[in-house]
Structure 1
């Protein structure tokens, strides 16, 4: 909503300010509750205002190489995952936790600088769009027929029913202007939404429990932490590489299948994790997990943009994020509950793997169905265009039907009575 109303640049700058304020305020906190508010709520809200505009603006500037741009943009997350943990430890050892929050707040204020570099769409593009709109309006005016003029005459205008309905429509139109709820009628969007909501039940939990699982099987603390670094390094390489592959002429026309495979591959890695023995086995798992994780993240937003288009992408991201947040929050607690119940980490990995394989299979089957339906609809549309007689007959029938409704509708009865009264007065004089 904010991006549609104000644009990406001011939203990112405001989000950067919130991030800086939240982290600096955390340095002066005296209770856990205050830390929750400053770091969790204020900083978290600021980071949310940074992520979505950054993804949305890619779709406005890139088309031909958009998958590559998405892959490169999403590669920033694993870079920070590699460097942030040792940086936090260094700051804590040298400046304490209060000093660490102050320095991290200053670092996050650089989001404002990044937001200032977001170049809005130029005036030339806007003028071209305006000119095209005006030309379209002129063309429509020229195509007004005699029947349409008759229907718009004072004697044939339908009376307004109720002002409440009109006010309700205005309110809905204003809301729909910033958040397009008509996306819930979009077949591809619904398939994507259901598959992703299911996927996120098992997407983040393995990252949360990887290091504790390594400690559980007897691996020392530093070696267990290094597994996350291995995962992040592979993830950092996998994201732009996946973007390049997804941009190829063989993959991009059917990128939804590639995305489905990536999710299922991710789930297969988790299902095989309990079979890994020793530290070497977990290193191999971390490599494949990082590869699969990077593949999914690189195409997460690209596939959505491929389905709904750049014009509706802003609303689609907002609606998808709202739905996904629920399962993102539920995934790790459910995994922790399984660990506490059975006293073993393998059931958590099996649960995550099974959910993701199911999500990948669902997306693959439903995307196949969606592609078939789109091809069928396109074929029917072309058949109608090639037969102008049937289109003209259909339009004439629709116009005649509308005219009969307007002329004979009960809502025009007061107008007809008034007209008859005027005729009688004229005859009487």
Structure 2
């Protein structure tokens, strides 16, 4: 049995070596986790006509898959803490493969909800959280760069799957395509095999403290008393809800995710409403994905800079507020040139946010507690992820225009961006005070001992 994630995090991160192979595996695994639900939308029209269902019925398929991926976070974290990342990622790839094969024989839309939505979404959860967790075990000094490179997998895989799905759809229809996709997603098992536990190659030492205070920032120390407490912490680390940095991240993200996905989903329909042909409208998404693809690793490099890394939360706050400003200005864009310019700036903003989304959480709580923290965050976020796009679509139905939806999403992004700026300023100030107090106590203890 491989060492657990907890054991991995107690080892000195090598910041390179085999860690780059792990980043490549995470690149594939994270790429499939985020791109797979989006790429399946190309089959929706034929599935809708085959089962004679409404637009809202077919739209729930990808929403259920994303919600299941987020809701499965705590379950994935439990298995990662118990068995390590490698077997969990491999099991997740196998689950998604089985789900797609079973869905290809579906006779009702409910069959697809259960197979693609629930089982497939849970399999994607088993791919996402372990990949994020093991990067923290292999990297510390270069962790923002490693996370940025791994998160680049999402636009790259989406950019690859989009034309591939169109080819499969034209050649095999949706049933045959689902069978082929079931085989393709087995690459996640190969990616998981690369995730060798860091404890197999390094000697353990004290876990490194995060640059934003990690366990200092409002965390509650444990006394190690009792096997029952340690078992409870393995499943749910309730002390995180008394962790100042974690609560700041959680509150802001819950608000933010109401406006996170809808602008991407409705970009092409909004362009068509402006009188732009469907091929040009679809190309806006390609512009967005291309910019996103290059911005994520670039953001990792910036976040790894010596002057940025100690205050990386400010960079994340800026990226959230920048997304909100883009959406608020989007209705002012006129013609195809204006929307193309919006797609460029939106891709820049979205790429910055996505590259930092989990890095800043790890920076706040520390690598040892990251697995549990990301599980708690994702299960709470599954509500906004599930409800955000339908609520945004309701605004379009009520007003008959997309601009009010973009205004709403802009507010949902701008408000948490400002919230993050204010609260992280407060958090950094408190952390500096706590460090000075700790240093004074250590110095006083040393003088008394002398």
TM-score by length of 2: 0.76
Q: Secondary structure at the match of 1:355?
A: helix
Is 2:337 the counterpart of 1:280? yes
Q: 1:336 maps to which residue?
A: 393
Is 2:405 the counterpart of 1:348? yes
Q: Secondary structure at the match of 1:201?
A: coil
Structure 1 residues 112 and 374 mapped into 2: Cα distance closer, same or farther (>3 Å)?
Answer: same
Kindly provide the CA deviation profile for residues 296-341 of structure 1, in whole angstroms up to 9, marking residues without a partner as x: 0000111011111111111111111111111111211111111111
Q: Which residues in structure 2 correspond to 1:161-310 (within 5 Å)?
A: 170-310=227-367
Kindly provide the CA deviation profile for residues 155-186 of structure 1, in whole angstroms up to 9, marking residues without a partner as x: xxxxxxxxxxxxx9754431212432211111
Q: 1:205, 1:331 within 8 Å by CA — same for their partners in 2?
A: yes
Q: Secondary structure at the match of 2:120?
A: helix
Kindly provide the CA deviation profile for residues 69-92 of structure 1, in whole angstroms up to 9, marking residues without a partner as x: 000000010012212222111101
2:164 aligned to 76, 83, 87, which one? Answer: 87
Kindly provide the CA deviation profile for residues 219-250 of structure 1, in whole angstroms up to 9, marking residues without a partner as x: 11111111111101100000000000000011
- 1:388 is displaced (CA, Å) by 2.7
Q: Distance in 1 between matches of 2:401 and 2:387?
A: 19
Q: 1:71, 1:299 within 8 Å by CA — same for their partners in 2?
A: yes
Pick which of 306-315 and 168-177 moved more: 168-177
Q: 2:437 maps to which residue?
A: 380
- 1:389 is displaced (CA, Å) by 8.7
**Which protein is richer in helix relative to its size?**
1
Q: Distance in 1 between matches of 2:381 and 2:306?
A: 30
Q: Distance in 1 between matches of 2:425 and 2:135?
A: 27
Q: Distance in 1 between matches of 2:111 and 2:359?
A: 38
Kindly provide the CA deviation profile for residues 368-388 of structure 1, in whole angstroms up to 9, marking residues without a partner as x: 000011111111122222223
Kindly provide the CA deviation profile for residues 246-295 of structure 1, in whole angstroms up to 9, marking residues without a partner as x: 00011111000000000000100000000000111110000000110000
Structure 1 residues 329 and 371 mapped into 2: Cα distance closer, same or farther (>3 Å)?
Answer: same
Q: 1:25 maps to which residue?
A: 102
Q: 1:81, 1:229 within 8 Å by CA — same for their partners in 2?
A: no
What's the C-alpha RMSD, in Å, of the aligned pairs?
1.8
Q: Rg: which structure is higher?
A: 1
- 1:99 is displaced (CA, Å) by 1.1
Q: Secondary structure at the match of 1:125?
A: coil
Structure 1 residues 124 and 90 mapped into 2: Cα distance closer, same or farther (>3 Å)?
Answer: closer
The unaligned stretches of length 5 or more in structure 1 are 131-167, 393-429
Q: 2:119 maps to which residue?
A: 42
Structure 1 residues 382 and 16 mapped into 2: Cα distance closer, same or farther (>3 Å)?
Answer: same
- Give the count of matched residue pairs: 355
Q: 1:398 maps to which residue?
A: none
Q: Distance in 2 between matches of 1:75 and 1:128?
A: 31
- 1:6 is displaced (CA, Å) by 0.9
Q: 1:411 maps to which residue?
A: none
Q: 2:84 maps to which residue?
A: 7
Structure 1 residues 115 and 82 mapped into 2: Cα distance closer, same or farther (>3 Å)?
Answer: same
Structure 1 residues 386 and 346 mapped into 2: Cα distance closer, same or farther (>3 Å)?
Answer: same
Q: Distance in 1 between matches of 2:230 and 2:355?
A: 34
Q: Distance in 2 between matches of 1:90 and 1:239?
A: 28
Structure 1 residues 307 and 128 mapped into 2: Cα distance closer, same or farther (>3 Å)?
Answer: closer
